[in-house]
Structure 1
Amino acid sequence: MDAVRIDLHTHSTVSDGTDSPAELMAAAAAAGLQVIALTDHDTTAGWQAAVEALPRGLTLVPGAEMSCVSGPPGQRIGVHLLGYLFDPAAEVLVAEQRRLRAQRRTRVRTMAERMAADGLPVDPDEVLGLLPEDSPAGRPHLAQALVRAGTVSTVDEAFARYLASGRGYYVPGADTPVETALEMITAAGGVTVLAHAFAHTRGPTLSEEAIAKLAALGLTGLEVDHPNHEPADRDRLRALARDLDLVVTGSSDYHGTNKTIALGADLTAPDCFEELVGQASGTQLVTG
């Protein structure tokens, strides 16, 4: 019998991916996955469409990736926290996700206006008008606009030249303190995994000491195997997870054509998956 293939971090058009939730489920089955988590940024809006499109034999882990920060003002580091199997109707969490989506749209509009003022072919109204109402906007949407205009060849080039942290058009977000997000997801019956914790190419990352503090607050796991983690970083994270008694996960962080990473590029071991979901109580896995 083939090993169970489990990918716990993917995005759809509900946030900044290029596959609809239904297309994503079909692509997961075609990629030979048996388990896939849908973790759009700051929203659960794609859950129902994904459930309705589940191919036979594919299991969906409902989730979301929350936009967070860590550290004091002036020294804050962007952090992404994956939440799985939480109650999507939990009022406090729903309100915070709504706030995050609104500020993400404001942030993208500000960046787009600055780019347009400098003569780049980006129309703020067009960028946001292409997105579903109340969906979270992100820098990949600006990158796509630059690709469509022929200013850059790829989304990666757009980030490198214009949109990455430290570039001229980058605007920081008003994100949730990671400790608060962790508390909200846990209170909603969910489990939490720190995403791409040592992805140094994305910008500053948390220290091992900071991760240990999150573990003491109830963090469930660490995303160890991720396309942006070098082998040495994976080894460090795996050892840290062992020392802190955290669940080890692996994921592709799939965004469709916005990134070159394929579904299943990194995977979660079945025993780790069972340990993770065994601690959740907010909602259920769904199998087609």
Structure 2
Amino acid sequence: MPARPLIDLHAHSTASDGTLGPAELVRAAADAGLDVVAITDHDTTAGWGPAVDALPPGLTLVRGAEISCRWHGVEPSLSLHLLAYLFDPDHPELVAELARVRRAREVRGERIVALLRADGVDLSWSEIMAAADGGTVGHPHIAAALIRAGLVATTTEAFGRDWLGERYRLPKDDIDVFRAVALVRAAGGVPVFAHPRATRRGRIAPDELIVALAEVGLAGLEADHEDHTPAEAAHVRRLAHDLGLLVTGSSDFHGTHKAVRLGAHTTTPETYERIVAAASGVTGVASG
């Protein structure tokens, strides 16, 4: 009996906050034995072209993004992430919103560095931007600068309460989550809620919100994820079953920013095929 395909639908490159370039990412995916990998950088499609150009034989690439969202149904508002697969990268409204969020990330990052500098932490915003090398700037880039400065030992420590997790944490101007789902659908894409039950990351979306999102076009929930406990993953699976949503699994690979490896969690071939079938945009999968 042939082996079932290995499918990882959540991975990041240097186009946002990963440590491997898009070409390196697809080569690493092939080396890890994956058959399908999704490139899902934060709020950008900049890595799509280089990843497609470097696709190794036998590897299929799903073009996607992880969209920074916010739900305003609670106070303070809740930050959420939406995985968007196979959408039209030229859809005008979605392009405009992603560009706005990328600008908001830069504004927030510069403000965080200013706060750190005011407290005597000698970081350089220009050096952080240079290290990002054109990628969407985020907290991991500031965390890397803190590590280079010898102020923390690991990314996990940088995201602790004394640093980016609380003391120097600032909100950014994300996309309303209902608008994000509508935009992804309008662009022909398939929206899946990323790590919806990961309490170790902080506050989580209530089930009532996921029910409401399912009613307006949410297609699936990411259940198998490094930041979900077994009980949390089981809860996500039950909720998805009750709502008729797809269930995905993925590594959320970032390279050296996180210890998780490519293919640590995977999506079933049946779910992958349903995602591809549900996409109505001009962007299909690419195969090496």
Tell whether the structures are fold-level matches, with TM greater than 0.5.
yes
| 8 Å Cα contact 1:34/1:57 also seen in 2 | yes
Matching residue of 1:163:
164
Q: What does residue 121 of structure 1 align with?
A: 122
> What is the rounded CA distance, in whole Å, between the counterparts of 2:273 and 2:242 in structure 1?
20
Contact 2:131–2:141 (Cα < 8 Å) also in 1: no
Distance of 1:159 and 1:75 partners within structure 2: 20
Q: What is the aligned partner in structure 2 of residue 107 from structure 1?
A: 108
RMSD: 1.0
Mapping 1:1-288, distance limit 5 Å: 1-72=2-73, 74-133=75-134, 135-160=135-160, 161-164=162-165, 167-282=166-281, 283-288=283-288
TM-score (normalised: structure 1): 0.97
Q: Is the contact between residue 113 and residue 123 of structure 1 (CA under 8 Å) also seen in structure 2?
A: no
Q: Indicate conservation of the 8 Å contact 2:71/2:176, yes or no.
A: yes
Deviations 1:64-85 (A, max 9, x none): 0100001237331110000000
Residue type matched to 1:147 in 2? I
Amino acid of the structure 2 residue aligned with 1:197? P
Q: Distance in 2 between matches of 1:218 and 1:5?
A: 27
- Whole-Å Cα distance in 1 between the matches of residues 41 and 106 of structure 2? 15
Which consecutive segments of 4 or more residues in structure 1 shift more than 4 A?
none
Asked whether the equivalents of residues 196 and 224 of structure 1 are also in contact (C-alpha less than 8 Å), the reply is: yes
Tell me the distance in 2 between the aligned counterparts of 1:132 and 1:52.
19
For the 8 Å contact 1:37–1:60, the answer to whether it is kept is yes
Offset, 1:162: 0.4
For 1:31, the aligned partner's letter is: A
Q: CA deviation at 1:203?
A: 1.1
CA positional deviation for 1:124: 1.4
Contact 2:9 2:267 in 1 (8 A): yes
Aligned pair count reads: 285
One-letter amino acid of the structure 2 residue matched with residue 264 of structure 1: G
* Counterpart-to-counterpart distance in 2, 1:31 and 1:89: 31
CA displacement at 1:62 relative to structure 2: 0.1
Distance in 1, matches of 2:130 and 2:19, equals 16
Contact 1:38 1:60 (C-alpha < 8 Å) held by counterparts = yes
CA contact (8 A) 1:112 1:122 kept: yes
Partners of 1:132 and 1:101 lie apart in 2 by 14
CA distance in 1, matches of 2:4, 2:54: 24
- In structure 2, give the amino acid aligned to 1:22: A
Partners of 1:179 and 1:214 within 8 A in 2? yes
User: Could you list the per-position Cα deviations for residues 48-93 of structure 1 after superposition, in whole angstroms to 9, with x for gaps in the alignment?
Assistant: 0000000000000000010000123733111000000000000001
- Give the fraction of aligned pairs with identical amino acids, expressed as a percent: 49
SS state at 2:178 partner:
helix
Matches of 2:52 and 2:163, distance apart in 1 = 37
Measure how far apart 1:8 and its partner are: 0.3
Query: Would you say the 8 A contact 2:191–2:218 is kept in 1?
Result: yes
Structure 2: state its 5+ residue gaps: none
